[in-house]
A and B are shown apart, each in its own frame.
Chain A
Amino acid sequence: MSNYFNTLPLREKLNQLGVCDFMDSSEFLDGVNALKGKKLVIIGCGAQGLNQGLNLRDSGLDVSYTLRKEAIEGKRDSWKNATENNFTVGTYEELVPTADVVINLTPDKQHTAVVNAVMPLMQKGATLLYSHGFNIVEEGMQIRKDLTVIMVAPKCPGSEVRAEYVRGFGVPTLIAVHPENDPQGKGLLQAKAYCVGTGGHKAGVLKSSFVAEVKSDLMGEQTILCGLLQTGSILSFDKMVEKGIDAGYASKLVQYGVEVITEALKQGGITAMMDRLSNVAKIKAFEVSEELKTIMRPLFQKHQDDIMSGEFSRTMMEDWANGDKNLLAWRAATGETAFEKTPAGDVKIGEQEYFDNYTLMVAFVRAGVELAFETMVEAGIKPESAYYESLHETPLIANTIARKKLFEMNRVISDTAEYGCYLFDYACKPLLADFMTRVGTDLVGKNFNAGKDGAVDNRALIAVNEVIRSHQVELVGAELRKAMTAMKSIKTA
C-alpha cells in the first residue's frame, strides 16, 4: 500500500484539501431516512463505539456489534459494553455479511488488519464507515470498488457524544465521502443520516474530505492540542519550582489552569480568553505570545510539511513495526516528569486566579492556536477545517489534563496523536530554553497585577485588541460557534 495523498496530482491534492462546507441545518430535513431499516454493524465497542451505537438505536436505527472472536470468548469489556446494553453481538463472519453499513470504530493502528478481515465478508454495494481517514489517506488502503466509503467523525469524546444527545443536543461533527469509493452516489446521504442518528446535525456539521481531515487532524493534535499543552505545562511547572513556588500549588495551577483558561477560549475564542486578563496583563501576554510565535513558527511549519509529505506517518509506522519502541519510551519518560509526580496541593485557587497567576499559559495557548491555524491555512487547508482542529479541540484536551495530568491526556488520545505529541515536545523544549530563562514568577506562579497600578496606554491597548480580534481564527470561530448553541460550561475544580 502506498500513501494515497502522494499518488494524487497536485491539482487533485489541492482539490481534496479544499473540501470544506459548513452545512446548513436544512440539509438534514430527511432525518435518518437514508439508513432506516438498514443493518448497521459497528466494529469495536469502546467509548465511541458504544455511545454512537446507543444514539443510533435511540434514533430508530438497527444497530449491532461485531467483535473479534477472542473478545467475545474472553468476555472482554467491549463484549460487556455491548451485551449489557442489550445489543446483538457476533463475530465478523456472523454479522458482517448481513450489514448494509459496517462502521469501523477501532483504533487507527488496527485499521489495516480489521479492514482486511471484514472487506471480503461485506456484501456487494455495502458501505464502510470510518471516523478517521488515516487508513485510507496515509496507509493507502484500497477498498473494493463496489463499496461506498464514508467518514463521520464526532469532534468530542464518546461520553460527550452520548451526554449531548440525551439532553437533546449533539456534538460538532465532520463528514466526508471518499471520492474513489462512491459508486452509487449514496455516500453523502448516508453520512448525513448517520449524523442525524448521533445528533451531530444539531451542533454544526462540516463537510470535509478524507484528505483534509487527516492532514488537519494530525497537525492540530501534534502541535497545539497535545504537543504544546504538554511542553507548556512541564516548562511552567519546572519554572515555578525553580523560583521557589510551592510545588503543590504549582502542580494544581498547571493541572487545572489550562482547563479553566481554555473554557474562556471555548465560549468566545482567543478574544474572550485574553479579555479575562487585566489590561496590563493582556498587553504583556500579547507581547509574550508574539515572541513565542516567532520562536515556534519553524517547528509548526516542519510538522505541517512532514504531515503533507507523508514523512510523519512513514516514521510513525516504522515505530509501529518496531513494537512501538519510541512511543513506549517517550510515554514512560512523561510519567516520570516532576509535574506528573507532584500531586496537586490542597489549596484553593479561584477561577480568576488561574488567569492572573498563569498568564504564561494564556500566551502559550494564543500562540499555539494561532500558529496551528495559520500554518494549516497556508498549507491549503480551509479556515473552517483549521478552526475545528485547533481552537475547537483545545478545551477538550485541556479537560483530560485536568482529570489526571499529561499521562492521562496521552492515554486518552489516539496513539497517533500521542506519537506526534512527543515528537513536538522533544523538539519544542530546547527551542524555548532561552526564552524560558527570561520568564519570571510574574508570568507564572504569582499574580501578574501585583504591585502594578494597572494603567495602560489607550492606543497600545486598542492596537493589541485590534490584532487579537481581527485574526481569521476569530472571524471563522464566531460564525461556527453560533451553530454550537448553548454549549455546556465545565464545572471547575
Chain B
Amino acid sequence: MSKPVVHIHNLNLAYQQKPVLQGLCWTINRNDNWLLSGESGTGKTTLAKAIAGLIPTLEGDIQLNFDPSSALPAKVHYVANWYQFKDLEGASNFYYQQRYQSLATAITATVIAELTRFGNDQQLSFDALEQLLTALGFAALKNSALLQLSSGEHKKLQLIKALWSKPQLLILDQPYNGLDKRSRENLNDLLTEVSDNGTQLIIVGNETELPAAINRFAVLKDGKLQEISSPISPKEELEEVIKPLPSFLQQEAPYAVSGSSQVSGSADHIIKMIDVNIRYGDKQVLKNINWEVNAGEKWLLQGHNGSGKSTLLSLISGDHPQAYANNFYLFGNKRGTGESIWEIKERIGLISPELHWYFDASATVWQSIASGFYDSSGLYCSPGSTKHARVDELIQYFGLSAYKNTLMNELPLGKQRLTLLARTIVKKPAILILDEPCQGLDQQQTQHFNRLVDELCKDGTTLIYVGHFESQLPECIEKRILLEDGAVKSVEHLLQSI
C-alpha cells in the first residue's frame, strides 16, 4: 500500500497577506490525475504554488511522498500560468513592441541556448528533446531569440521544459493559454503519455478539453476544496441576468470613422494592406498579405501559433516599425505620411496577451483602466470628471470595486485581465482589436465578455477578434481570415454559423 503522493491537512494559505484558503484538506493518491478548477481569485494558483513548495504555508501541512522505486526524478515541476524570461544580463526590463524591432532581440538568449542551459541544469537527456520539439511544432524556432517568441510560443517553451524533465508530480497552471487547437490536442496526448510513464498530473484551470488521463475533478470555492464528478460545463451555469451596459457605452456613437482631425480618407476601408511583407534578416514572418477591412465589419483572425497573427495586428495598432516600409492604408491614409502612432491608437481599443505581459503592473486598477483614454501603459496625467465617471462605471460593471486601488501586480491574472478588458473599451473605440481577450478568464466570464462585445458592436464598431477556442467567440463575427505560415490561407464570409 503506497502512501498518497500529496497529503494536505488543514491548510491555511494567504494571497498578498489576505487569507484565501482555510482548513483545506486534499489527498492525491497514486494514479489520480486531477483538474483543479474554480473562479478567478479563489486561490487555485496559490494552492498549486504551495504544493510545489514555492510559497510558505500559514498553517497546516503539505506532505509529499515520492516513489523511491520510480526512475523519474523525485520532484514537483510547476508550470506557471505566466511565462518569464530574462536578457543575457539577467534583467527583464523589456518593453512592449521591442520584439518587432530589428536587432533589439539579440539581447536575449536563443531558444536552443535556453533549452541547453535548462537540460544541463536538470541533467536531462538531449535525445528526448528533438521529439518534443517536433511534437509541439517548435523545431523551426530553435534559433529564435526568446524576445521574438509570441505568447503562445512562450507557453509552449514552458511546456517543453516540463514534459522533458518528467518529474514525479507535474502541476500545470492554465497550460492551454494561447495554444492553438492542434497544439492543445498534441499537449493532451503528450500529457497522457507522461502520465502513462508514471508522472502524476494536476491541471489548474477551467478547461473542458482535457487529457484522457485526468480522472478526478475538484473545484475551489470559499477557501475549500470540493470534489465534483466532471468539469463544470459553462452552459449550465450561465443563466445569470446579463447586466445592462454602462450608460456611456450605450449612448455614445464611437469616434466617427472619417472626418476627424488627421484622418480624412474617403474610402470605406479602414484597413487596406497591399502585398505586405515583414522579415527579420532571412526570416519572413508575413508574406504578401492582402487584406481589406471595411468600417463596421466583424472579423475573426485565426491561424496556428506562430502564423503571424500578432505581427499582423501590430501593423494595425502602430506598433511595428516595418509599417513604414509597406504599402498599407489605415483610415484611408497611407501609413507613414505624417500621422503619429498616437493618432492611430486613439481610434483603437487593443488587448493582447503581450499587451498584458508588458503592461505596467505597478499601476492601480483604477489607473490602469483610465490609461485606456491615453493608450499608455500606466497613467501619466489626471483625467477630467467625465472620464473619471466612466472609469468608475466600468469598475462596477466588471465587478472590480473591491480592487479599485489595488496594484495590478497584487491581483490574480484573471482580475488583471478583467481590468485590461475594461481599459480596452473605456474610450469606446471605433475599432476593437481583441487578441485572445479572454485568456485566463473562466468560461462564464468569457461568455459574459463576448456578449458585451456583441452589444458594443451593434452600432458600427469594427471588430477584429483572435480566439483559439471556436466555442468561445462573439456571435456578431461575420468574416474570417486564416493565416498559415505568414500567408493568407483563406478569407471567407461566415453566415451566422459561429
Residues of A within 8 A of B (CB): 32, 36-37, 54, 57-60, 62, 80-81, 84-86, 162-163, 166-169, 202-203, 403-404, 485-486, 488-491, 493
Minimum CB distance partner of B382 in chain A: A485
Tell me whether A486 and B325 are in contact in the complex, defined as CB-CB below 8 angstroms, given that A59-B340, A166-B96 are known contacts.
no
Cβ-defined partner of B381 (8 Å) among A85, A166, A485, A491:
A485
**Interface 9-mer from B84-92, B136-144, B303-311, B465-473:** B84-92
Tell me whether A163 and B338 are in contact in the complex, defined as CB-CB below 8 angstroms, given that A169-B380, A486-B360 are known contacts.
no
Interface of chain B residues 64 through 114 with chain A (CB within 8 A): 89-93, 95-98, 101-103
- Ranked nearest first, the 9 interchain pairs of A and B with the lowest CB-CB distance are A168-B376, A84-B102, A86-B325, A167-B377, A163-B95, A60-B340, A58-B341, A59-B340, A486-B378
- Determine which residue in A169, A202, A403 has the highest number of CB atoms from chain B within 10 A of its CB, and name it: A169
Beta-carbon contact of A168 and B324 below 8 Å: no
Q: Is the interface of A mostly helix, strand, loop or mixed?
A: loop
- Determine which residue in A81, A84, A493 has the highest number of CB atoms from chain B within 10 A of its CB, and name it: A84
Tell me whether A36 and B95 are in contact in the complex, defined as CB-CB below 8 angstroms, given that A167-B377, A168-B380, A485-B381 are known contacts.
no
Minimum CB distance partner of A36 in chain B: B338
30 residue pairs A–B, Cβ–Cβ below 8 Å: A54-B101, A57-B324, A58-B318, A58-B340, A59-B340, A59-B342, A62-B338, A84-B102, A84-B280, A86-B321, A163-B93, A166-B97, A166-B319, A167-B96, A167-B360, A167-B377, A168-B342, A168-B374, A168-B377, A169-B378, A202-B380, A203-B380, A486-B360, A486-B363, A486-B367, A488-B93, A488-B360, A488-B362, A489-B362, A493-B90
Shortest distance between the CB of B75 and any CB in chain A (Å): 20
Shortest distance between the CB of A76 and any CB in chain B (Å): 12
Tell me whether A486 and B380 are in contact in the complex, defined as CB-CB below 8 angstroms, given that A85-B102, A167-B360, A168-B374 are known contacts.
yes
Beta-carbon contact of B380 and A404 below 8 Å: no
Minimum CB distance partner of A403 in chain B: B89
Q: Is the interface of B mostly helix, strand, loop or mixed?
A: loop
Beta-carbon contact of A168 and B362 below 8 Å: no
Beta-carbon contact of B102 and A491 below 8 Å: no
Beta-carbon contact of B91 and A491 below 8 Å: yes
Minimum CB distance partner of A492 in chain B: B91
Having A58-B340, A169-B376, one finds 6 other A-B pairs with CB under 8 Å, namely A57-B324, A59-B340, A60-B339, A60-B340, A85-B322, A491-B92
Whether, in the assembled complex, B45 has its beta carbon less than 8 Å from a beta carbon of chain A, the answer is no
Cβ-defined partner of B371 (8 Å) among A36, A168, A202:
A168
Whether, in the assembled complex, B375 has its beta carbon less than 8 Å from a beta carbon of chain A, the answer is yes
Q: What is the CA–CA distance of A488 and B340 in the complex, to the nearest angstrom?
A: 24
Tell me whether A86 and B324 are in contact in the complex, defined as CB-CB below 8 angstroms, given that A60-B339, A167-B378, A486-B360 are known contacts.
yes
Which B residues are in CB contact (< 8 Å) with A85? 101-102, 321-322
Number of B interface residues in the complex (CB < 8 A): 41
Beta-carbon contact of B381 and A32 below 8 Å: no
Q: What is the CA–CA distance of A36 and B338 in the complex, to the nearest angstrom?
A: 7
Minimum CB distance partner of B102 in chain A: A84
Q: What is the CA–CA distance of A335 and B147 in the complex, to the nearest angstrom?
A: 31
Interface of chain B residues 205 through 222 with chain A (CB within 8 A): none
Beta-carbon contact of B97 and A485 below 8 Å: no
Beta-carbon contact of A166 and B102 below 8 Å: no
Minimum CB distance partner of A25 in chain B: B381
Minimum CB distance partner of B87 in chain A: A403
Whether, in the assembled complex, B159 has its beta carbon less than 8 Å from a beta carbon of chain A, the answer is no
Shortest distance between the CB of B242 and any CB in chain A (Å): 33
Cβ-defined partner of A86 (8 Å) among B318, B322, B358:
B322
Beta-carbon contact of A32 and B340 below 8 Å: yes
Q: What is the CA–CA distance of A372 and B97 in the complex, to the nearest angstrom?
A: 38
Which B residues are in CB contact (< 8 Å) with A58? 318, 340-341
Which A residues are in CB contact (< 8 Å) with B202? none
- Determine which residue in A62, A85, A403, A493 has the highest number of CB atoms from chain B within 10 A of its CB, and name it: A85
Whether, in the assembled complex, B379 has its beta carbon less than 8 Å from a beta carbon of chain A, the answer is yes
Q: What is the CA–CA distance of A168 and B340 in the complex, to the nearest angstrom?
A: 12
Minimum CB distance partner of B280 in chain A: A84
Interface of chain B residues 352 through 376 with chain A (CB within 8 A): 358, 360, 362-363, 367, 371, 374-376
Q: What is the CA–CA distance of A60 and B341 in the complex, to the nearest angstrom?
A: 7
Which B residues are in CB contact (< 8 Å) with A59? 340-342
Shortest distance between the CB of B409 and any CB in chain A (Å): 10
Q: What is the CA–CA distance of A162 and B280 in the complex, to the nearest angstrom?
A: 20
Minimum CB distance partner of B325 in chain A: A86
Which B residues are in CB contact (< 8 Å) with A84? 102-103, 280-281
- Determine which residue in B96, B341, B380 has the highest number of CB atoms from chain A within 10 A of its CB, and name it: B380
Q: What is the CA–CA distance of A86 and B280 in the complex, to the nearest angstrom?
A: 11
Beta-carbon contact of A491 and B93 below 8 Å: yes
Which A residues are in CB contact (< 8 Å) with B93? 163, 488, 490-491
Q: What is the CA–CA distance of A380 and B101 in the complex, to the nearest angstrom?
A: 43
Q: What is the CA–CA distance of A81 and B341 in the complex, to the nearest angstrom?
A: 21
Which B residues are in CB contact (< 8 Å) with A167? 95-96, 358, 360, 376-378
